[in-house]
Amino acid sequence: MPVPAIIIGGGPAGSAAAITLAKAGLKPRLVERHMAPPRGVCGGFLGWDGLAALDDLGIDPWALGARPISRFRLVTRGRTVTADLPATAAGISRKALDSALIDAAIAAGADVTRGRAARAVDPLARTVRLDDGEIIAANAIFLATGKHEMRGLARQFTHSSVGLRASLPPCPPRLDGLAGVVELHLFDHGYAGLLMQEDGSANLCLSVSSDRLSQAGGIAALLSDLMSEAPALSARMADIDPPHFEAVAGVPYGWRARRSEDGVFRIGDQSAVIASLAGDGIAIALTSGASAARAMIAGGSGAAPDWQRRMNRESRRPLGIAEMLRRGAAMPLPRRAMMELIRWVPRLGTRAAALTRIVRD
């Protein structure tokens, strides 16, 4: 007997879909390969659209200790500009956020299996094979594997970036001026983002093009180059043991799923990968997960192709603008022009931040 829906992946997209389906009485099965949410490669910036999506799902990030953020700061060698965000955002660790989401899915009635991975999907037969050989037949498949490809439904792309993340332990003087701010250090072919998390530590994440990493000859060599290229970042990291970095490769910024098969909903990063500089990936994951689930509740598994086309249309503009900003920030001349514009007219920075958000249905 097929289950009503199988969700592969228990990140924000998968959990949002599971909560929404379960609350409607469709008991979904969710399979997550980790026993407990890992810290994961993410900046931990949750925009106002993400906060609204969490509210819809019944989750209060402030109760989890999220830190409010109202401004962003861009830093390059010798220059710093600051602008207001369009609305209050939050800084929170992915461990705290993902745990709360998956717990909410279980509480809503989803059947959650942790510690097992899906190995392959057969979209025509609508079956999913798990790592222990179990085959699950489902009326609908929600693909929510985020940054990871799934055999049978893999994304196709040519250019990609690498993401790195580490925690900087709490130490007030070094983290001076980080309260209420997300700080972005811009350099050639990438950036580093810093913000305070719920436990007072700082989340440091870096994104660089795969080419720059391979030219540097590895993570240690890249970091050493960056310490001279980005002195303000180097100062933030002074006097601490080299942090342990988690890494993810093959991040295809700007990629969108143009279509999907009957019965297959691609959600979160499997539907659209916005430049991480924009800090909207979690919001896209939450909104797409919940919206795909609502489409299935209203129209059954056959609603998938139409929903996917709509998601593709709605994500085109914010992804396009975020790509423009990412590419500009990664090159010396456009980066300098961007910094000057925001220095003289900070409202332009606020407006740019607003334009990279996805519209909610």
Ligand X SMILES: Cc1cc2nc3c(=O)[nH]c(=O)nc-3n(C[C@H](O)[C@H](O)[C@H](O)COP(=O)(O)OP(=O)(O)OC[C@H]3O[C@@H](n4cnc5c(N)ncnc54)[C@H](O)[C@@H]3O)c2cc1C
- Does residue 256 bind ligand X (CB under 6 A)? no
Distance from C-alpha of 211 to C-alpha of 264, rounded to nearest angstrom:
33
Pick the closer one to ligand X by CB: 326 or 335.
326
Among 4, 86, 190, 268, binds ligand X (CB under 6 A): 268
Span interacting with ligand X, options 12-20, 104-112, 224-232, 293-301, rule CB under 6 A? 12-20
- Does residue 276 bind ligand X (CB under 6 A)? yes
- Does residue 86 bind ligand X (CB under 6 A)? no
Within positions 131 to 150, which residues make up the interface with ligand X, using CB under 6 A? 144-148, 150
- Does residue 236 bind ligand X (CB under 6 A)? no
Pick the closer one to ligand X by CB: 6 or 175.
6
Among 17, 118, 213, 233, binds ligand X (CB under 6 A): 118
- Does residue 251 bind ligand X (CB under 6 A)? yes
Among 6, 7, 13, 222, binds ligand X (CB under 6 A): 13
Span interacting with ligand X, options 34-42, 70-78, 216-224, 344-352, rule CB under 6 A? 34-42
Among 183, 198, 269, 314, binds ligand X (CB under 6 A): 269
Pick the closer one to ligand X by CB: 252 or 343.
252
- Does residue 183 bind ligand X (CB under 6 A)? no
- Does residue 89 bind ligand X (CB under 6 A)? no
Binding site for ligand X (CB under 6 A): 8-14, 31-34, 41-45, 117-118, 144-148, 150, 163, 205, 207, 248, 251, 268-269, 276, 279-283, 285
